[in-house]
Amino acid sequence: MIDLLDSHTHSLVSGHAYNSINEMIAQAREKDLKLIAVTEHGPAMLGSCGELYFRNLKIQPRNRDELWTLFGAEVNILDWTGKIDLMESTLKQLDVVIASIHPPTYTKIEDADEDVIAEKNTTAYIRTMQNPYINIIGHPDDGRYPVHYDELVRAAKAYHVLLEVNNTSFLERNYRQNARENYMKMLTYCKQYEEPVIINSDAHLDLEVGEHTEAWNLIKEADFPERLIVNTDLDLYFSYINYNPLFK
């Protein structure tokens, strides 16, 4: 299987990443990718950029010597109601929007039994997916924020949103818990409901761009069908995101 893209990367602008946009793009070219998306953290994340930065991304070229270079955001899901940290008027200007739960920015549900907590977290994702400019749910794998994967996958299918398999979640240094076990559950339902997934690096360093080895290993272990992996089909990827290359 040929991996064509990395749609979740961060530059210096996110506040806790370590390379410039141009360095991230150069690494994508080095890895022979056909597309990279730079998706900075939303403004609720300490140290990241403000709303104006995202609104001005229109000045960036989207195709550089046959490499698609898209620009978007990884917005923060703030609570179980699905509130996020960028205005809709800003979202509609972005090429691709990922929505994720992060410990520093999400109001964690406390003092409830596990099933209630999972239901609230699942509701947070589903209400976020109801926003027409949300394209990808980022790393829905952290055991500290349990979800009902059956409901999550069915909602992603209904709202035409991709679920991410995040390579960083498998690395020893990562803080997310039980990612492998949770992804196996998610992929089982994705196969059942024919819901595509996207593999991303979540790179915060240029050397991590396009590094999807652990995610691909899990995909193979799960015997997940290639036709449901958007990394192998740019047309399928474009059908899920805000950016339309035919009208740019």
pLDDT given at position 128: 99
Which pLDDT band, with edges at 50, 70 and 90, does 247 fall under? low
What local confidence, expressed as pLDDT, does residue 115 receive?
93
- The SS3 of residue 96 is strand
E strands, 143-186, where?
162-166
Residues 17-32, mean pLDDT to the nearest whole number: 98
- Distance, in Å, from the CA atom of 118 to the CA atom of 204, rounded to the nearest integer, reads 29
Residue 248 predicted with pLDDT over 80: no
Mean pLDDT computed over 89-108: 97
| pLDDT tens digits, one per residue of 111-157 | 789 999 999 999 999 999 999 999 999 999 999 999 999 999 999 99
User: How confident is the model over 169-224, as pLDDT tens digits?
Assistant: 999 888 899 999 999 999 999 999 999 999 999 999 999 999 999 999 999 999 99
Predicted confidence at residue 175, as pLDDT, reads: 87
pLDDT of residue 173: 86
Chain-centre distance for alpha carbon 245: 20
Query: What does the domain layout of the chain look like in residue ranges?
Result: 5-247
Sign of CA dihedral 235, 238, 243, 247: positive
Q: What is the pLDDT of residue 242?
A: 97
Q: Assign 244 a pLDDT band (cuts: 50, 70, 90).
A: confident
Taking the C-alpha atoms of residue 213 and residue 168, their distance in angstroms, rounded to an integer, is: 10
Are 153 and 195 spatial neighbours (Cβ–Cβ below 8 Å)?
A: yes
pLDDT tens digits, one per residue of 49-66 = 999 999 999 999 999 989
Question: What pLDDT shows up at residue 196?
Answer: 99
> Which pLDDT band holds residue 24 (cuts at 50, 70, 90)?
very high
What's the CATH number of domain 5-247, 3.40.50.720, 2.40.128.20, 1.25.40.80, 3.20.20.140? 3.20.20.140
Comparing 1 with 226, the larger pLDDT belongs to 226
Is the confidence at residue 16, as pLDDT, over 90?
A: yes
Mean pLDDT of the chain: 97
